Amino acid sequence: MSHHVSDEMLHAFVDGELDVAESENLIAQMRDNEALSQRVCDLSSLKNMVQLAYAAPPRYGSGAVHDRGLRRRRLVQRCAYACLFLTLGLSAGWMVRGVGSTEPVAYWEGREVVSLAVEADPGKILLHIDSGLPEKMLDVLDQAERYLDQAEAQGRAIQLEVVANSRGLNLLRAGFSPYADRIAQMRQRHANLHFIACSQSVARFAADGEDVELLPVAQTAPTAIGEIVSRLQQGWTYVRI
Amino acid sequence: MSLITRLIFGPPKSDLEVLRPALYRIAYAWSHDAALADDLVQETLSKAWTRRSQLRDAQAVKPWAVSIMHHCWLDHLRSRRDFDDVDSLHDTLEASVDTPEQCCDREQVIACVRAAVAQLPLAQRQVLTLVDLEEFAYSEVASILDIPIGTVMSRLSRARSALKLILQRKMQSATSRPTLRRVK
């Protein structure tokens, strides 16, 4: 069953104004309605952006805290910038895989790439997978291995993270991942490779009654978007598979 | 301070002073003027201290102080000679900051978001900032601004729709920003 949910209702949900029953009802609708999930995601991100924009307002007549404030504002600026991109640039593919598309930000070997660094560091790469398609899973592992092998051959230090959320989480689920053995081998070969599962996605699967057991090599982050924003702040390059 | 003293004399000065950062953040988000925001906060804290005995619920000190600041803000607007109708002013006033386009050209994304907020009508801006920045409940916002809760919801909805539109428009031209680099 699906019926139109008003903007006011969604705002109330994002702002924690709904009671438990109303919230649960809306969450149930979101599971079956990707457009609705997208609206909630957009609203939530917008709210975060406003918070970030005013996290450190300029002080009046306070020279002593100027430098510290400036540094903090720069940090907040980057964070807000990341949110801007993730919300308005990449969010079309964030919760609603395959719905809508955005202008490519930049391309690296034919892949969409985002970096906030003035000089993006090729030694810090985050690969993001949110699709449950086996070919996408294979692709992300192939790419990771290729980057790692290239760096090794060139004697370059590299850090690489594979962040999985939404249906892409299946890549890291025991009993679901078609590549569990390969992932274990890769992790054994490369100490600088990490597989990160989105805890929010885990919770969502669990709420649907699914028993989620992650592969032993998988680590978790509270949210995939948080991990991505945090890494972007640190100069990592984001590649969406 | 004992409970009885607190009931009789209101919150101690430290309870009010601790609100200063939050009040300043709100005042700045309303006015986008650091000097004015500082003045508003000072005036608010001063009035709150004078009227401290009027506060009956110690848990509600923050919304109470913000409500005082809202009235200080209205007084300020009324004192401006170029506006004599605060209600109409609420629907039209925009802070005198750069447009989002100008800000993003200078790679100041924070300023870009602030400029987008500043483009909102003042009444919407107030509701948006109280809900988003300080996470006041809708009922608290209604009480602070002395408006019906339905008005809070509709203003918030309009504010976010407008904000999203402004930022989306901006982001379409921001994809070619020089901070993005091809990785080789």
Parent domain of B104: 91-175
Residues A66 and A114 in one domain: no
Residues B165 and B124 in one domain: yes
Q: Is A113 on the interface with B (CB under 8 A)?
A: yes
Of B40, B62, B84, the one marking the end of a domain is: B84
Residues B96 and B52 in one domain: no
Q: Is residue B184 part of a domain?
A: no
Candidates A18, A19, A60, A90: best to mutate against B (most CBs of B within 10 A) is A60
Q: How far apart are CA B139 and CA B147, in angstroms?
A: 10
Q: Is residue B99 part of a domain?
A: yes
- CA atoms in the 13 A half-sphere facing the CB of A140: 34
Q: Is residue A101 part of a domain?
A: no
Q: Is residue B31 part of a domain?
A: yes
Query: Could you tell me if A233 and A75 are in contact, meaning their C-beta atoms sit under 8 angstroms apart?
Result: yes
Residues B127 and B170 in one domain: yes
Helix/strand/coil for A216: coil
Closest C-alpha to B133, from A60, A112, A218, A48: A48
Residues A125 and A227 in one domain: yes
Residues B127 and B150 in one domain: yes
Amino acid letter at A162? Answer: V
Query: Could you tell me if B122 and B113 are in contact, meaning their C-beta atoms sit under 8 angstroms apart?
Result: no
The CATH number of the domain holding residue A193 is 3.40.1260.10
Residues A50 and A157 in one domain: no
Residues B79 and B136 in one domain: no
Residues A75 and A128 in one domain: no
Q: Is residue B147 part of a domain?
A: yes
Interface of A with B in 24-83 (CB under 8 A): 42-43, 46-47, 49-54, 57-61, 73, 76-77, 80-81
Residues B67 and B139 in one domain: no
Quote the pTM value: 0.54
SS (H, E, C) chain B: CCHHHHHHHCCCHHHHHCCHHHHHHHHHHHHCCHHHHHHHHHHHHHHHHHCHHHCCCHHHHHHHHHHHHHHHHHHHHHHCCCCCCHHHHHHHCCCCCCCHHHHHHCCCHHHHHHHHHHCCCHHHHHHHHHHHCCCCCHHHHHHHHCCCHHHHHHHHHHHHHHHHHHHHHHHHHHCCCCCCCCCC
Average pLDDT of the residues of chain B: 78
Residue contact A50–B113, C-beta within 8 A: yes
DSSP classification of residue A30: H
Of B51, B84, B117, the one marking the end of a domain is: B84
What are the pLDDT digits (tens) for B30-89? Answer: 999 899 999 999 999 999 988 888 887 777 889 999 999 999 999 888 887 555 455 545
Residues A113 and A232 in one domain: yes
B168 pLDDT tier (thresholds 50, 70, 90): confident
> By CA distance, what is B133's nearest residue in A?
A51
Residues B111 and B126 in one domain: yes
- pLDDT surpasses 50 at B110: yes
- Say what the pLDDT of residue A215 is: 95
Of A61, A93, A125, the one marking the end of a domain is: A93
Q: How far apart are CA B148 and CA B151, in angstroms?
A: 5
- Say what the pLDDT of residue A113 is: 57
What is the total count of domains within chain B?
2
Task: For CA atoms A82, B115, B128, B33, give the dihedral sign.
Answer: positive
What is the total count of domains within chain A?
2
Residues A89 and A124 in one domain: no
Residue contact B183–A47, C-beta within 8 A: no
Query: Could you tell me if A42 and A91 are in contact, meaning their C-beta atoms sit under 8 angstroms apart?
Result: yes
Of A31, A62, A93, the one marking the end of a domain is: A93
Q: Is residue A138 part of a domain?
A: yes
* B147 against A89, higher pLDDT: B147
Close Cβ partners of A176 (under 8 Å, ≥ 6 residues apart): A170
Distances (CA, A) of B22 to A13, A64, A113, A193, B17: 24, 19, 37, 42, 10
Which tokens belong to B29?
A: 């988000």
Close Cβ partners of A112 (under 8 Å, ≥ 6 residues apart): A104, A105, A106, A239, A240
- Say what the pLDDT of residue B148 is: 95
Residues A133 and A73 in one domain: no
Residues A88 and A135 in one domain: no
User: Looking at CA atoms only, how far is residue A178 from chain B in angstroms?
Assistant: 30
Radius of gyration of chain A (CA): 19
- Say what the pLDDT of residue A81 is: 53
User: Looking at CA atoms only, how far is residue B126 from chain A in angstroms?
Assistant: 12
The CATH number of the domain holding residue B69 is 1.10.1740.10
- Say what the pLDDT of residue B109 is: 64
Residues A163 and A51 in one domain: no
Q: Is residue B182 part of a domain?
A: no
Residues B79 and B105 in one domain: no
- Say what the pLDDT of residue B47 is: 92
Close Cβ partners of B3 (under 8 Å, ≥ 6 residues apart): none
The CATH number of the domain holding residue B150 is 1.10.10.10
Closest C-alpha to A195, from A178, A170, A212: A170
Residue contact B181–A117, C-beta within 8 A: yes
Q: How far apart are CA A16 and CA A18, in angstroms?
A: 6
- Say what the pLDDT of residue B44 is: 94
Interface of A with B in 167-186 (CB under 8 A): none
Task: For CA atoms B118, B122, B128, B129, give the dihedral sign.
Answer: positive
- pLDDT surpasses 80 at B18: yes
Which tokens belong to B27?
A: 């005042």
Taking 70 as the pLDDT cut, the residues of chain A under it are: 1-3, 31, 61-121, 233
- Say what the pLDDT of residue B172 is: 65
- Say what the pLDDT of residue A102 is: 33
Q: Is A220 on the interface with B (CB under 8 A)?
A: no
Parent domain of A42: 7-93
Q: Is residue A100 part of a domain?
A: no
Residues B73 and B100 in one domain: no
Residues A130 and A167 in one domain: yes
Residue contact B181–A115, C-beta within 8 A: yes
User: Looking at CA atoms only, how far is residue A191 from chain B in angstroms?
Assistant: 23
Q: Is residue A99 part of a domain?
A: no
- Say what the pLDDT of residue B179 is: 45
- Say what the pLDDT of residue B10 is: 59
First vs last C-alpha separation in chain A: 32
Closest C-alpha to B71, from B12, B126, B136, B17: B126
Q: How far apart are CA A106 and CA A130, in angstroms?
A: 20
Of B54, B84, B114, the one marking the end of a domain is: B84
Residues B2 and B77 in one domain: yes
Helix/strand/coil for A223: coil
- Say what the pLDDT of residue A1 is: 46
Q: Is residue A143 part of a domain?
A: yes
Residue contact B179–A46, C-beta within 8 A: no
Q: How far apart are CA B111 and CA A114, in angstroms?
A: 21
